[in-house]
A and B are shown apart, each in its own frame.
Chain A
Amino acid sequence: MSAPLLEVRNLSAAHGKKPCLHGIDLSLMPGELLLVLGHNGAGKTTLMRTIFGLHRPSAGQILYQGRDIVGRRPAENVAAGIAYVPQGHGVFRSLSVRDNLLLGAFVVTDRARLAPRLDVVFGLFPVLKERERQIGGTLSGGQQQMLAIGMALMHEPAAIILDEPSLGLAPNLVERVMETVVGIKTAFSTSIIMVEQNVRLSLPVADRVAVIKTGRKIYDGDPGPLGDKVELMKLF
């Protein structure tokens, strides 16, 4: 077995005084889709923000490609190949689709790389090509989510952190998003951590599942056993 691309060891974090994460261990293998489940307020978003450098942990290590990245700024993590798609349509609402995508590649200084990346994203989301000039905030919820994912792909990340991509989307769109996520994983062999609340649609696409409850990991392994919803409810 190869070494994990991203590894979290004994990570704790707090919001002000409110402790949110208690000694979390998590690992992401290359090319893996890790699903993180957990209820509202369980600490999933804090975990993702902490990994990405938007929130300082109170204890623990975060290793990326074997190096501790605690204390690094988001800009450095982006440059190192980690992308973060925040909860609730992480787009610039006042800017055009094209500008949004180009900003997704803000850390890419080599302008020659931009056009091919745009083509890749447009190939994946043809609707974004059609609406290239449209203002981000005027897109539908589903399109905004695609744009947000497209922005993350612009700098060819090795790892993508997706925070609840299904939030606020109609069920058929959620399915579409899940397909896309799997597509990205297979096409670019990108490693993905996906936080979700929609168990039904996200579970089938996961390679492995971690369940967080009130800041602690209570399950880590095969998605299979979690298929039974009533069992899952007991777990919470």
Chain B
Amino acid sequence: MDYVLHILVMVCLYSILATSFNLLIGFAGLFALSQAAFYAFGAYATAILSVKLGLAFPLPLTAAILFTAAVGILVALPAIRISGDYLVIVTLALQVIALAVIVNWHGLTGGPDGIRGVAPLHFLGLPLDTPRRFLPVAALAAAAGFLIAWRLAHSPFGRALRAMRENEAGAEAVGKNLLYMKVVVFAFSAGLAAVAGSLYAHYFTYVGADGFTIEQTIYILAMVILGGTGNLWGSVAGAAILVVLPDALQFIHLPVEIADKSRLVIYGVLLMAVLRFRPQGLLAAAAAGGTRGALTPLAVTQGGAGLLDPIAPGEATLSGAKLARAFGGIRAVADLSIALTSGRITGLIGPNGAGKTTAFNLLTGFLAPDEGEVTLRGRPINGLKAHRIVGAGVARSFQDLRLFARMSVLENVLVALPRQSGDRIGQVFFRPFRVAREERANIARAMSVLAFVHLDGKAGETADSLSYAEEKLLSIARLLATGAEVLLFDEPLSGLDPTTLTEILPILRELARSGRTVCIIEHNLDVIKELCDEVCFLDEGRILAIGTPERLMTDPELATRYFK
């Protein structure tokens, strides 16, 4: 019986580890494989504080969480610069280094012998030194850990995390602070793993380095992948399956040595099989996340009013002065000056490689200009990070759309709404009612934005199930949702058939009529003629002519340039 209870304790510990790891890899998309190191730091911090300093619960636990969260933030720093394969390798290396420190720092960690004699937890004077007595604590901690992970994952902050996972530049373009999100999610993931580590230390009253190897990280990874990345219940199920399943094998009486190894073989085979045959995991992630319940038609009706607050037309808004930017000696943009006006649609045309998209990147902070200044209503905004510029009122779309493919249409818009208190982690946990109230209003607002582009009927579908034309509409809706007054569209109409064109053109006109400043890059000159009040002709990184579409398109010199 005790054995079964022991297994259950282990399921609890691993479910904390798996859910916390899932925050990192499943929600934030950061494949940082050093979870066992966080686990180890939690365990060792607890053991050291409890044995060497004689501190009693809950001090070691608290300290372990804080210390490991701080380590997590340190690991977040490389994750800001590198991604993909390199992040995996670097974090594996970090884990090896961490383990080497633990094994070699004899004085503090007991070296290869580990630390013995960690005090068990006590409850009302009763030592929790058997699986039966410990299980309630483990279950409680697992439940608490799960709730924290759940709250984080299914808050507006978690939505922003998933947007970052889907497309980093896309998330930045709707005003999300990637640095802040990465730091927070690493701190939480590491802190939660430390809880599991701390419990481990109290439960076994011993910590040793061989419990926290790379194999442990892969073990936890297998649980997350088996249960489905981005699915917290899946991680619990994955933990339960992978703890219980191999232990069931032990009834075949294999030698301990071989049983341990066969267990790892099973994890590896499962990991490969899932990735090979069912990459979404056994339980697929709920696509629409936590907002599905709110998706009743009722939510659609109200709140649409303030969607396009009128802005006075004819005022100078965004302007760039003498912008220059070179790539490896080639000047993509040289001495480019442009001034946009509210209520007008300005077209950017020019031959291939003229510097149109680079101009957008410079105006929106996605690239820093080598020279020149960008101002919004007279205030300089260059030097600001891209997400700050979105907040200031300048937003852009991408040629390749950069939608958040595995999120619902509604979420794609919701995540772009400005000034969400649910984006701040403190508010998520300490002002839940305010966040929930705001969220209801935001859903209504997002629905009205979707209605504006005629996508409200598809709100609950995932973005990657849309047709290409609908994707284009969604990218417009997302841009609109940022609330920015200056909207830069990079080829919003390319690849669309004439019928869809006639659907989108009025939307763009409506935006200008409401006083938004609209600028579009476009190659289809019919569209430019029909849509734009003013056209800038770019070539060789500078503006060669500004005028009405009619004038520019009948200029023989420009025509020759256009066709070289």
Residues of A184-236 at the interface with B, using a CB-CB cut-off of 8 Å, are 197-201, 213-215, 229-230, 232-234, 236
Residue in B468, B523, B563 whose beta carbon sits within 8 Å of that of A17 in the complex: B468
Residues of A37-78 at the interface with B, using a CB-CB cut-off of 8 Å, are 39-42
A215 CA to B353 CA, complexed, in Å: 20
Contact B563 A41 (CB under 8 A): no
Write out the residue numbers on chain A whose beta carbons fall within 8 Å of the beta carbon of B494: 41, 214
Q: Count A/B pairs, Cβ under 8 Å.
A: 62
A32 CA to B564 CA, complexed, in Å: 24
A134 to chain B, nearest CB (A): 21
A20 within 8 A of B: yes
A214 CA to B352 CA, complexed, in Å: 15
Write out the residue numbers on chain B whose beta carbons fall within 8 Å of the beta carbon of A20: 495
Given A198-B563, A199-B564, A232-B559, A41–B523 Cβ distance below 8 Å? yes
A19 within 8 A of B: yes
Contact A236 B525 (CB under 8 A): yes
Q: In chain A, what residue has the closest Cβ to B466?
A: A17
A215 CA to B493 CA, complexed, in Å: 13
Write out the residue numbers on chain B whose beta carbons fall within 8 Å of the beta carbon of A200: 560, 563-564
Residue in A18, A40, A213 whose beta carbon sits within 8 Å of that of B468 in the complex: A18
Contact A41 B525 (CB under 8 A): no
Q: In chain A, what residue has the closest Cβ to B465?
A: A17
Residue in B351, B353, B491 whose beta carbon sits within 8 Å of that of A41 in the complex: B491
A135 CA to B500 CA, complexed, in Å: 49
Contact B468 A229 (CB under 8 A): no
Q: In chain A, what residue has the closest Cβ to B561?
A: A229
Given A17-B467, A19-B468, A229–B495 Cβ distance below 8 Å? no
A229 CA to B553 CA, complexed, in Å: 10
A227 CA to B523 CA, complexed, in Å: 20
Contact A17 B525 (CB under 8 A): no
A41 CA to B400 CA, complexed, in Å: 12
Interface of B is mostly: loop
A137 to chain B, nearest CB (A): 14
B67 within 8 A of A: no
Write out the residue numbers on chain A whose beta carbons fall within 8 Å of the beta carbon of B554: 230
Contact A197 B564 (CB under 8 A): yes
Q: In chain B, what residue has the closest Cβ to A168?
A: B353
B494 to chain A, nearest CB (A): 5
Write out the residue numbers on chain B whose beta carbons fall within 8 Å of the beta carbon of A214: 494-496, 524
B306 within 8 A of A: no
B57 within 8 A of A: no
B341 to chain A, nearest CB (A): 26
Residue in B352, B497, B559 whose beta carbon sits within 8 Å of that of A40 in the complex: B352
B471 within 8 A of A: yes
Write out the residue numbers on chain B whose beta carbons fall within 8 Å of the beta carbon of A17: 466-468, 471
Chain A residues touching B, range: 20 to 34
Write out the residue numbers on chain B whose beta carbons fall within 8 Å of the beta carbon of A215: 495
Write out the residue numbers on chain B whose beta carbons fall within 8 Å of the beta carbon of A201: 564
Proximity string of chain A (1-41) to chain B, C-beta cutoff 8 Å, 1 when within and 0 when not: 00000000000001001111010000000000000000111
Residues of B453-479 at the interface with A, using a CB-CB cut-off of 8 Å, are 466-468, 471
Contact B468 A197 (CB under 8 A): no
Residue in A22, A39, A199 whose beta carbon sits within 8 Å of that of B523 in the complex: A39
Write out the residue numbers on chain A whose beta carbons fall within 8 Å of the beta carbon of B556: 229-230
Contact A197 B495 (CB under 8 A): no
Residue in B491, B497, B559 whose beta carbon sits within 8 Å of that of A230 in the complex: B559
A26 CA to B468 CA, complexed, in Å: 26
A93 CA to B523 CA, complexed, in Å: 32
Contact A229 B560 (CB under 8 A): yes
Write out the residue numbers on chain B whose beta carbons fall within 8 Å of the beta carbon of A229: 556, 559-560, 562-563
A102 CA to B491 CA, complexed, in Å: 41
Residue in B466, B471, B497, B563 whose beta carbon sits within 8 Å of that of A199 in the complex: B563
A230 CA to B352 CA, complexed, in Å: 18
Residue in B495, B496, B525 whose beta carbon sits within 8 Å of that of A233 in the complex: B525
A12 to chain B, nearest CB (A): 12
Write out the residue numbers on chain A whose beta carbons fall within 8 Å of the beta carbon of B564: 166, 197-201
Q: In chain B, what residue has the closest Cβ to A39?
A: B523
Q: In chain B, what residue has the closest Cβ to A215?
A: B495
Proximity string of chain B (540-564) to chain A, C-beta cutoff 8 Å, 1 when within and 0 when not: 0000000000000110100110111
Q: In chain A, what residue has the closest Cβ to B494?
A: A41
Q: In chain A, what residue has the closest Cβ to B351?
A: A197
Write out the residue numbers on chain B whose beta carbons fall within 8 Å of the beta carbon of A42: 523
Residues of B347-362 at the interface with A, using a CB-CB cut-off of 8 Å, are 351-353
Write out the residue numbers on chain B whose beta carbons fall within 8 Å of the beta carbon of A41: 491, 494-495, 523
Write out the residue numbers on chain A whose beta carbons fall within 8 Å of the beta carbon of B525: 233, 236
Write out the residue numbers on chain A whose beta carbons fall within 8 Å of the beta carbon of B559: 229-230, 232-233
Write out the residue numbers on chain A whose beta carbons fall within 8 Å of the beta carbon of B553: 230, 233-234
Write out the residue numbers on chain A whose beta carbons fall within 8 Å of the beta carbon of B353: 168
B531 to chain A, nearest CB (A): 15
Contact A18 B563 (CB under 8 A): no
Q: In chain B, what residue has the closest Cβ to A37?
A: B563
A168 to chain B, nearest CB (A): 8
Write out the residue numbers on chain A whose beta carbons fall within 8 Å of the beta carbon of B351: 40, 197
Residue in B467, B496, B560, B563 whose beta carbon sits within 8 Å of that of A197 in the complex: B563
Residues of B511-535 at the interface with A, using a CB-CB cut-off of 8 Å, are 523-525
Q: In chain B, what residue has the closest Cβ to A15?
A: B495
B527 to chain A, nearest CB (A): 10
A133 to chain B, nearest CB (A): 26
A214 CA to B523 CA, complexed, in Å: 9
Interface centre among B471, B491, B494 (most CB of A within 10 A): B494
A227 CA to B496 CA, complexed, in Å: 29
Q: In chain A, what residue has the closest Cβ to B559?
A: A229
Residue in A197, A199, A232 whose beta carbon sits within 8 Å of that of B352 in the complex: A197
Write out the residue numbers on chain B whose beta carbons fall within 8 Å of the beta carbon of A234: 553
Write out the residue numbers on chain B whose beta carbons fall within 8 Å of the beta carbon of A232: 559, 563
A235 to chain B, nearest CB (A): 9
Write out the residue numbers on chain A whose beta carbons fall within 8 Å of the beta carbon of B563: 197-200, 229, 232-233
A198 CA to B564 CA, complexed, in Å: 5
Write out the residue numbers on chain B whose beta carbons fall within 8 Å of the beta carbon of A198: 563-564
Residues of B331-355 at the interface with A, using a CB-CB cut-off of 8 Å, are 351-353
Interface centre among A18, A168, A215 (most CB of B within 10 A): A18
Residues of B290-337 at the interface with A, using a CB-CB cut-off of 8 Å, are none
A229 CA to B556 CA, complexed, in Å: 7
Write out the residue numbers on chain B whose beta carbons fall within 8 Å of the beta carbon of A22: 497
Write out the residue numbers on chain B whose beta carbons fall within 8 Å of the beta carbon of A166: 564
Write out the residue numbers on chain A whose beta carbons fall within 8 Å of the beta carbon of B523: 39-42, 236
A229 CA to B524 CA, complexed, in Å: 16
B interface with A by C-beta (< 8 Å):
351-353, 466-468, 471, 491, 494-497, 523-525, 553-554, 556, 559-560, 562-564
* 13 pairs, A vs B, C-beta closer than 8 Å: A17-B467, A19-B495, A20-B495, A40-B351, A166-B564, A197-B352, A201-B564, A215-B495, A230-B559, A232-B563, A233-B562, A236-B524, A236-B525
In order of increasing CB-CB distance, the 8 nearest A-B pairs are A199-B563, A229-B559, A198-B564, A17-B468, A40-B352, A233-B559, A39-B523, A18-B468
Beyond known contacts A14-B468, A230-B553: 7 more, CB 8 A cutoff:
A19-B468, A20-B495, A42-B523, A166-B564, A199-B563, A232-B559, A236-B525
